Amino acid sequence: MARPQHPQFDKKKVVAENRRARFEYFIEDTFEAGIALTGTEVKSLRFGEGSIAESYAEVRGNEAWLVNSNIPEFSHGNRFNHEPKRPRKLLLHEREISRLHGAVERKGMTLVPLSVYFNSRGRAKVELALARGKNAADKRQTIKERDWKREQSRIMRDRG
């Protein structure tokens, strides 16, 4: 019997998206993780500021960390402001962390954040992907498929 697919994550407000990740990597599996943030980081995210374009996740010990993500300082944060590029702890179950660690160690996969968003309860979440890198030929194939889909929709729009 096939394993049931998990429902899509409940994304109410997307703050940052890593659109390049789907071009650079084959996405094998996705996880939803919470982020341990300080008060000024949450306020900056609520204003729609933040970037995960060059960030990645790693497993150190029994904890997962989001590295190199940029959440700029809050404009009214005074002396209690945060450091913009500090590593942020990801909140995952122990079983999920061990699964991610095993895939990264044995299969040579990468942990790539796809998006940062607020769910319906107002909690900041990260959509994390277990991914395998593409080579140049795979990227060219992806470009061809994308162009063909665009051309198909153009043809269908003109005829219908």
Percentage above 90 pLDDT, the chain? 64
Q: Quote the pLDDT of residue 6.
A: 55
Mean residue pLDDT of the chain comes to 89
Is 114 within the bounds of a domain? yes
The token pair at 76 is 């009214």
Give the count of domains, the chain.
1
Is 2 within the bounds of a domain? no
Is 7 within the bounds of a domain? no
Does the predicted TM-score (pTM) go above 0.85?
no
Is 122 within the bounds of a domain? yes
Is 138 within the bounds of a domain? yes
pLDDT surpassing 90 at residue 160: no
- Residue 99 structural domain: 13-159
Contact partners, residue 118, CB within 8 Å, separation at least 6 = 12, 13, 15, 45, 46, 124, 125
Is 6 within the bounds of a domain? no
Q: Quote the pLDDT of residue 110.
A: 92
Is 81 within the bounds of a domain? yes
CA 95 to CA 90: how far, in whole Å? Answer: 14
Name the amino acid, one letter, at 158.
Answer: D
Q: Quote the pLDDT of residue 11.
A: 81
pLDDT surpassing 80 at residue 2: no
Q: Quote the pLDDT of residue 79.
A: 79
pLDDT surpassing 90 at residue 108: no
The residue count of the chain comes to 160
Q: What tens digit of pLDDT does each residue of 78-102 get?
A: 777 888 899 999 999 999 999 999 9
Helices (H), the chain: 21-24, 39-46, 94-107, 136-159
Q: What tens digit of pLDDT does each residue of 116-127 get?
A: 999 989 999 999
CA 40 to CA 112: how far, in whole Å? Answer: 24
Percentage above 70 pLDDT, the chain? 95
Is 35 within the bounds of a domain? yes
CATH assignment of the domain containing 53:
2.40.280.10
